[in-house]
């Protein structure tokens, strides 16, 4: 099946550092989304992107829909301990009724 | 606000036993999904539904069955549990098939 390659697999950073992660595919996606999963909980939607080149922010988080429509990026500025968790990218290949495809996640650890 | 509620939260089964996981949402969403999460594998789609009375297979449907008899409920059944089905199961729902709301998960162990 279709695959989203998410990297890095894990990150260990100091509080206050900026973080970058990305998601790539060999297929063209119509929609890119980023979710965060806190330990012991289900994922929660952070940002949704709908157009190539789109740049969207949610507080300290900024995500971009790649120009080629085959990739997306998520940046977190000035990380804090509550940023700890697993970040998933997700993409939609087709239109309504097409299920999301999820990446394998980036596990973020923040030390204070 | 309940959102998406999954029951049970934990369960231990013996190989060959059957069980049903219940997902209930109170947001009047059309779309509902069942995912499983395994270490290093991310979220893999088992089955999904685009409306009451409809179901469709996802990426890893073998060994599972689903039903959506009522719009607010999506049931996931394991007829004969196997150790390979040990996982954390997440239900999700959405008004569209993009912005999903997830439950808090069911941790299932099959011995």
Chain B residue with CA closest to A40: the answer is B104
What are the residue ranges in chain B where pLDDT is below 50? none
Q: What is the pLDDT of residue A63?
A: 98
Could you tell me the CA-to-CA distances from B104 to A33, A43, A103, B25, B35 in Å, in that order? 19, 8, 19, 12, 12
Q: What is the pLDDT of residue A90?
A: 94
Res. A94: pLDDT tops 80: no
Q: What is the pLDDT of residue A10?
A: 96
**Which residues contact residue A76 at a Cβ distance below 8 angstroms, ignoring those fewer than 6 apart?**
A18, A19, A20, A60, A61, A83, A108
User: Which pLDDT tens digit goes with each residue over A42-91?
Assistant: 999 999 999 999 999 999 999 999 999 999 999 999 999 999 999 999 99
Our measurement of the distance from residue B67's CA atom to the centroid of its chain's CA atoms, rounded to an integer in Å, reads 10
Res. A25: pLDDT tops 60: yes
Q: Considering only CB atoms, which chain A residues are within 8 Å of B98?
A: 31, 33, 48, 92, 100
A39 CB near a chain B CB, below 8 Å? Answer: no
């Amino acid at each position: 099946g279709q695959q989203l390659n998410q990297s890095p697999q894990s990150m260990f950073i100091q509080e206050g550092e900026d973080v970058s992660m990305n998601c790539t595919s060999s297929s063209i996606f119509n929609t890119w989304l980023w979710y965060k999963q806190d330990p012991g909980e289900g994922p929660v939607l952070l940002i949704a992107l709908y157009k190539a080149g789109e740049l969207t922010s949610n507080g300290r988080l900024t995500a971009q829909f790649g120009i080629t429509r085959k990739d997306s990026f998520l940046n977190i500025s000035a990380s804090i301990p509550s940023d700890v968790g697993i970040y998933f990218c997700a993409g939609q290949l087709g239109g309504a009724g097409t299920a999301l495809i999820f990446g394998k996640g980036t596990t973020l650890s923040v030390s204070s | 606000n309940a959102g998406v509620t999954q029951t049970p939260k934990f369960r231990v089964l013996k190989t060959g036993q059957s069980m049903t996981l219940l997902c209930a949402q109170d947001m009047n969403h059309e779309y509902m999904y069942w995912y499983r999460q395994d270490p290093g594998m991310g979220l893999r789609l088992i089955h999904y539904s685009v409306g009451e009375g409809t179901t469709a297979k996802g990426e890893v449907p073998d060994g599972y069955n689903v039903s959506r008899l009522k719009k607010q409920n999506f049931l996931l059944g394991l007829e004969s549990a196997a150790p390979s089905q040990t996982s954390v199961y997440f239900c999700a729902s959405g008004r569209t098939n993009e912005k999903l709301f997830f439950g808090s998960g069911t941790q299932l162990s099959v011995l």
